[in-house]
Chains A and B, each alone.
Chain A
Amino acid sequence: MPVSPYEWNESIRQRNEYIEDRLKDGSPVVAISYDNGVLILCLRPTQRKIFEIYDKLVLAAIGNQADIESIRTGAIDIAHREGFSRSPDDVSIQRIVGFAVSPSIKKVYADPFAAPIVIRALFAELGKTADVDQYLIVSYDGEFTRSQHYAVIAGTDYAEERVLNHLKSETEGNIPTLQQALRAAVYAWGIGRKHIEEEDREEGDLPSDREKSGDVSDFLTEHLNSGWSVEAAILERSSHRESRYRVLAEADLAETLKAYR
């Protein structure tokens, strides 16, 4: 254990550096509330990133695969135990994240002899209307922030900020349809990923003038052509199906991706 406040500070600093260094290449995952549900989307080479947790709860995360897996299964276990012994209505994002996920992450983070959990996780909860959909982003130290209408996780703060900026201008004042949300999400992903790749090469934040539409479109085309695929899932507000969670098929995405192929 650290013996002085200085050592304690120092160990925390090194811990943060270690984790942030391992997160910094993380590709963005974008979530947007649309009129009939919640859309979560990312592009990735192979590994799945978006997971159903419970009836109205979905998780997307970047970080260490094993860490994501343990958070995912832990959240699923708790949600199902609670949903069965009480009611599915009692399984809320606030209870799962606030009382289970966040404290567990914090506990490991605060133990200097435990390997830290390398994760940045986005939880989304479907509400009755788009205005009450909730997004919680959980950081590696257990801190979480709440947002509405849209949310993003990415490897660096700057990339996240640029994506949020784009989503803000896209959704300003109105609730998008699924097609509009898909278009905005794919493009926003392009902006975020582009910043991450360029930051990696050039060290340090890049000005936003690299976000000109031609640049981002070419960037997206390049990724789609080199084997990256879109992973997109929705939680549907009203559906005749028993499950609200649905992974979008290639056909659902064709219209949006046409522009980049």
Chain B
Amino acid sequence: MIDSNDTGLGDFAALFDGGTGSIFAQTGPAGAHGVPAGLDTHSTTVIAVKYRDGVINVADRRATAGYTVMYDQAEKVLALDDYTLISISGSFAKSVEVVRYLRHAFKYFERSQLQPMSLDGKLQELSRVIAGNMAAAMQGIGAFIPVLSTFDREAGTGRIFFYDAMGGQFETAEYGAAGSGSAPIRGVFEYILRTKGPFREMAREDALHEVLTLLEIASDLDTATGGSSKHLPAAKYITADGIRDFTEDEILTALGRPTGNAR
């Protein structure tokens, strides 16, 4: 009657290509080896950690292309639905497109099928998109690695998933990080776990303080990660009540800087 897809199973991608494959399963330009390094804008350190009531996500705000800082107010922690955050690293253009795709895919499923997509279903969809992007990523353009965090309402707990470039998915018990600044700080996570105990038992302020300190260290060690002096990092958390932004004051306090009028 109205032009509608035949699958009837809530597959958003099928609206575009008749269900023959992911709309992201495309290769890069043929023989595009040696894409100029400055062509692709990248963005950089994202961290997710569990805390007592859920998950915290933080990210710096710098986007770079080659040696150039393109943008200092990039938003890299994005909501996919009411309980799911995706933190993006790698190609900014591709990440933003993927986030737009996932938001539509999840909502399309929920609206057409009259039930939300399961957590496994959502994870599968994300893995598929990353795997579909492999060919282009191999040619040096459009590679992106996300960290996905969500509040699992059935289990009553926060969950964090990180990925490799082939779409391989790993669930982590404590923390996940991605981007060029994540490698230099990896050992610090382990140090905190051994000296201060698990993130998942920390209060919200304490966990925020730890991850923002980690982000500051990353910005000191990695040129592609922005510091907090010019623009405050992005910081959000997910609990059973959904997603919230940390206030500016909470972020300043966690950074050990004066708040409000005292600034």
Residues of A with Cβ closer than 8 Å to B?
48, 51-55, 70-71, 73-78, 80-81, 83-84, 100-101, 104, 108, 117, 240-243
B1 contacts A108, CB within 8 Å? Answer: yes
In the complex, 6 of the A-B residue pairs with CB atoms within 8 angstroms, ordered by the A residue number, are A71-B2, A73-B112, A76-B112, A77-B5, A84-B101, A240-B242
B79-116 with Cβ < 8 A to chain A = 79-82, 100-101, 104, 107-108, 110-112, 114
| Contact indicator A80/B243 (Cβ below 8 Å) | no
Chain B residue with minimal CB distance to A77?
A: B4
Which residues from A are CB-within-8-Å of B257?
none
- A68 CB to closest chain B CB (Å) equals 11
B19 interfacial by beta-carbon distance below 8 Å: no
For the complex formed, measure the closest distance between the CB of A47 and the CB atoms of chain B, giving whole angstroms. Answer: 12
Q: Is the CB of A84 within 8 A of B2?
A: no
Residue ranges of B at the interface with A (Cβ–Cβ < 8 Å) = 1-5, 8, 12, 15-16, 79-82, 100-101, 104, 107-108, 110-112, 114, 242-245
A240 touches B111 (CB 8 A): no
Considering the chains assembled together, what is the distance between the CA atoms of A80 and B16 in angstroms? 10
Contacts A74-B1, A75-B2, A242-B243 known; 10 new A-B pairs at CB < 8 A: A53-B111, A71-B1, A77-B3, A77-B5, A77-B112, A108-B1, A117-B1, A240-B245, A241-B242, A242-B79
Which one of B15, B100, B245 lies within 8 Å of A81 (CB-CB)? B15
A104 touches B243 (CB 8 A): no
Contact of B100 among A48, A74, A84, A243 (CB under 8 A): A84
A76, B1: Cβ atoms closer than 8 Å? no
Inter-chain CA distance A51–B113, complex, in Å, is: 11
Q: Check B16–A81 contact: CB distance below 8 A.
A: yes
A104 pairs with B2, CB closer than 8 A: yes
| Residue of A whose beta carbon sits closest to that of B79 | A242
Min CB–CB distance B31 → chain A (angstroms): 29
Give A71 to B82 CA distance when docked, in angstroms: 27
Contact residues in B for A101 (Cβ distance below 8 Å): 2
Complex: chain A residue closest to B108, CB-CB: A80
CB of A73 within 8 A of CB of B8, answer: yes
Residues of A within 8 A of B15 (CB): 77, 80-81
Shortest distance between the CB of A223 and any CB in chain B (Å): 24
For A87, give the chain B residue with the smallest CB separation: B100
Task: For B12, list chain A residues within 8 Å (CB).
Answer: 80, 84
Q: Find chain A residues with CB under 8 A from B81 CB.
A: 242-243
> B125 CB to closest chain A CB, in angstroms?
14
**With a CB–CB cut-off of 8 A, which chain B residues contact A100?**
2-3
CA of A108 to CA of B100, assembled, Å = 35
Which B residues are CB-close (under 8 A) to A48? Answer: 114
- Complex CA gap A78/B245 in Å reads 32
CB-nearest residue of chain A to B8: A73
Q: Please report the C-alpha to C-alpha distance between residue A53 and residue B80 in the assembled complex, in whole angstroms.
A: 18
B111, A74: Cβ atoms under 8 Å?
A: no
Q: Please report the C-alpha to C-alpha distance between residue A181 and residue B101 in the assembled complex, in whole angstroms.
A: 36
Closest to A85 in B: B16
The smallest beta-carbon distance between B108 and chain A, in angstroms, is 5
A243–B111 Cα gap in the complex (Å)?
Answer: 11
Q: Is the CB of B2 within 8 A of A80?
A: no
Top 4 nearest A-B pairs (CB, nearest first) are A74-B2, A104-B2, A242-B79, A84-B104
**How many angstroms from the CA of A235 to the CA of B1 in the assembled complex?**
28
Bound Cα distance from A71 to B81, whole angstroms: 25
Residue of A81, A84, A117, A241 contacting most chain B CB atoms (<10 Å):
A84
CB distance B2 to A77 under 8 Å? yes
User: How far in angstroms is the closest Cβ of chain A from B21?
Assistant: 17
Docked Cα-Cα span, A241 to B245, in Å, equals: 11
> Across the two chains, which residue of chain A brings its CB closest to B78?
A242
With beta carbons under 8 angstroms apart, the residue of A51, A80, A242 that contacts B82 is A242
Give A160 Cβ to nearest chain B Cβ, in Å.
25
Contact (A240, B1) CB under 8 Å given A51-B111, A80-B107: no
- Residues of chain B within 8 A of A73, CB atoms compared: 2, 4, 8, 112
Q: Are B3 and A74 in contact (CB under 8 A)?
A: yes
Residues of A within 8 A of B4 (CB): 70, 73-74, 77
Q: Which residues of B sit under 8 angstroms from A241, Cβ to Cβ?
A: 82, 242-243
